Structures are given as C-alpha cells and as structure tokens.
Structure 1
C-alpha cells in the first residue's frame, strides 16, 4: 500500500516553541496576587500539561497548599496575564522557521495545541509563523465545529 502524505499535524509547545518561561511568569503572577510565594522556574516541567487549571492546581499541590476556592477567577487572571505576555520570553526552537518553510513547500500543515485559540494565534503572529499553517486548533476549538470541519477537510 503506497499512500502519499498530504498533511502534517504539529503540536505547539515543546515542538515548535518553548513557552515554559512565559507560563511560569504567568503562574507566579497569579500566585503573588494571592500572597503566595512563587514557584521555582526549574519545576516548570512538572506543572505544565492539561491547561491553566491543571497548572495552578499542581502549583498549589507542589507548595503543599489547599486547592483554591476561587479557581475560576485564578484561571481568568492567568489567561489574561499570559495573553499579554505570551511571547516575552518564549522562543522558537532552533531551525523551526526553516523547517516549517521546507515542510510547507511539500505538505499542508495543521497545528493542534492545548492552548486557547486566541493565545495560539497571537503567539504564531508574534513569531511570524502563522502563514505556515493551513489550520490551527486550540483547546477551545472543540466546540467550534466549523473550525474542526475545516481542519478535517485539510487532512
């Protein structure tokens, strides 16, 4: 069976960009506003994955604190700060731009990420890589059937 590859699906964090520095800054902003000591940057790997709520809850657990009662407010605060600062210290991994350029010349490229759509789009624009992607699906795209259908048609 000889099938031709037409589309490549790529994740954002840990594949194209290292967003750890901006994520930890956003988390520590939220913690400081709650009069909680910031977490150390070296533990970012144990906190990420699963979105803002999971990250905040893991930080509280790491600091041996009771889960926050106002988690929804903290998530909102985190996302607002992160949106404003999502490209301050994050960076593209080496050779990503040239690799995307080569891939785009031969394939369609779709991006799928656990980040919210509006934050993902801002990051792609800030790094000037948005034009490489035929489709972008953020974590909140799950309820956007037209966006999912667009990606499905591309794939």
Structure 2
C-alpha cells in the first residue's frame, strides 16, 4: 500500500446531520410531511437531486419547479456546509497515522468540486489532502474507473498500490474496475436496496467501524514498512 483514497460523504466525513437538518426544515417550510432522519441518511450519497426528491416526490427532476427547489437546497447547503458535519469519530488519528508514515491520502467523490473544496477548507483538510477528484475533472464519474485512474496519475502511484474506501456500490465498482484494493465502509450511508448482501458488492474487505478500518490499514502500513526495511 502506497496511498489511500476515500469517498467523501459517508466514508471520510459524516455529513448526514447537516443534510437532515436542511431537508427537514424544507419540509416544515413547505408544510409537507417531515422526512425521517434515517431515510435522508441513506440518500446522502445520491446527491442533491435525491435529497430534494424526498421533499417533492411528485415532481419530475426536469421540472423547472423541481430545479428551482434543488438550487435553493444547494444554496442553503453551501452556506451552511459545516454546522454539524465532521470527520467520522476515529478518522482524525487514522489520517495522522497515514501522514506519519508518509502515505498520501486523497478523495475521489461524485460531490461537486465547489462543495467538496468548501467542505475540506472548513475542516482544515485542504493542505493535508494529497488529491481531490470531482465530477468536473472527468468525462465519466464513478462507477467508471476514470476518476480512479486520474487520482493515481496525480499521485504518481500505480493503481494496484492504492486502496479505495467507499460506502456505495459504485465506489467499490470504480475501485475494482481500476484494479485497486477496495474496502467497503459498512458504517457509512449504505443504500437500502444494497445493504442486505454486502458480499455481493465484491469488495476485497468489509469493515463495520473506524477502528476496524484503522487496524486493517495499519496492517498494510506494517507490510510496507517491513518491505522498505528489507530493501534498505
């Protein structure tokens, strides 16, 4: 292992609380039934369109009214992107250990670049993140492997020496399609329709907690360190 890449929402950063707050407030403002928190959480990885669809299920996503609501949601979220958002508990020491071993970490996400950069800046992660690949950077997004290849190229590290961690089937598919070692983050925002058979995702490993992820990555770090020592 020479680098670790993460999906953003639901894998590296716990953004659900802010999405829940904003969507539930939209429901109240529009005098609509308030969507429960768990339903919102499972849709976070699907993006703004899925979020707004929870509030206005009867509207077509191409309807100008729907698009106006979507823009309003994006504006409110952009202005309040880190209120209750933070890295998942235990993720800070994990990143610190990677950095201590000079193993770069980065992000490959389907979240728009503007929002991703703002999120990282608010959490003081901009300078620490070795690479950030967003939809605007590629012609095809995850599950296509193009974003993964771009990240590897920018890191100047072979894809087979990179681990990708994600909480959505498209994350695992993208990593597998790029021949990376994939880890399914089962603590994340798993889609309801895919959570009953995690083995079907065909990830190289499944972890259920951040400590499990930390331990797995430590094993990979140890192997790398031992190999470097032998070579030295």
TM-score range, shorter chain: 0.7 to 0.9
Match of 2:108 in 1: 112
Match of 1:28 in 2: 24
Could you tell me how far 1:132 is from its partner in structure 2?
1.9
Kindly provide the CA deviation profile for residues 50-108 of structure 1, in whole angstroms up to 9, marking residues without a partner as x: 211122224434xxxx1253222122111111111111011221221221122123212
Alignment match of 1:141 (pick from 118, 137, 141): 137
Match of 1:125 in 2: 121
Unaligned runs of 5+ in 2: 140-146, 158-232
Unaligned runs of 5+ in 1: none
Alpha-carbon contact 1:117-1:140 (below 8 Å) kept: yes
Alignment match of 1:84 (pick from 70, 79, 82): 79
Name the stretch that deviates more: 27-36 or 131-140.
27-36
Alpha-carbon contact 1:110-1:135 (below 8 Å) kept: yes
Residues of 2 paired with 1:140 and 1:87: CA distance? 22
Alpha-carbon contact 2:26-2:55 (below 8 Å) kept: no
DSSP 3-state at the match of 2:46: coil
- Residues 18, 101 of structure 1: alpha-carbon distance in 2 compared, 3 angstrom cutoff: same
Residues of 1 paired with 2:19 and 2:121: CA distance? 18
Alpha-carbon contact 2:10-2:45 (below 8 Å) kept: no
Alpha-carbon contact 1:30-1:74 (below 8 Å) kept: no
Per the normalisation by structure 1, the TM-score is 0.77
- Residues 54, 141 of structure 1: alpha-carbon distance in 2 compared, 3 angstrom cutoff: farther
| More contact order relative to length (CA 8 Å, sep ≥ 6) | 1
Match of 2:36 in 1: 40
Match of 1:100 in 2: 95
Could you tell me how far 1:114 is from its partner in structure 2?
2.4
Alpha-carbon contact 1:49-1:55 (below 8 Å) kept: no
Residues of 2 paired with 1:139 and 1:34: CA distance? 31
Kindly provide the CA deviation profile for residues 100-127 of structure 1, in whole angstroms up to 9, marking residues without a partner as x: 1221232122201222211111111211
- Residues 140, 71 of structure 1: alpha-carbon distance in 2 compared, 3 angstrom cutoff: farther
Return the index of the structure with the highest Cα Rg.
2
